[in-house]
Amino acid sequence: MTLFLIFSSAVILIFISLLHVYWAFGGRWGTSATFPVKEDGASTEIVPPTLLTLIVAFFILFFSIILLAQSGYLPFYHADTLTKWGSVLIASIFTLRAIGDFNYVGIFKRFKGTHFSKYDTWMYIPLFLYLAISFVVAVIV
């Protein structure tokens, strides 16, 4: 079970990283539910610079490497204090994202009738909690 949890989370993170690279170079697939919408219907969407999107892609890929290293699945890098505390930090980041900002994103969001909020409730929040759990399990096991 642990093997499935760790590898599925790593694959998900790699996919999300590649998706960010795709977006950085102009791809539009999947962007319709990427940004929350304000209560007046105005989009909060910003167009992040290419470099920033690539940096996010790098960090998400790096998260998958930390997860695999902490779990002992990277033969060239073994778990150490850096991967342990990195995993705790990443699990905290994913948990905080799942909790949200109490307005547009997360479990406690106030604005719930938008296209984004439906994706947030049914896909993003469970995904972030799943990823957070995988990092916690990697530290514990």
**The pTM is what?**
0.89
Residue 115 has pLDDT above 70, yes or no: yes
49 CA to centre of own chain = 19
Q: Taking the CA of residue 59 as centre, how many other CA atoms within 13 Å lie in the half-sphere pointing to its CB?
A: 11
> Are 29 and 22 in contact, with CB atoms under 8 Å apart?
yes
Q: pLDDT tens across 24-37, in order? A: 998 888 677 777 76
pLDDT on residue 38: 67
Residue 36 CB coordination number (10 Å): 21
Q: Which residue has the tokens 């990823």?
A: 131
Confidence of residue 103 (pLDDT cuts 50, 70, 90): confident
Are 44 and 37 in contact by the 8 Å Cβ rule? The answer is yes
Instruction: Return the domain boundaries, the chain.
Output: 2-140
- Torsion sign over Cα 96, 113, 36, 127: positive
Which pLDDT score is estimated for 104? 81
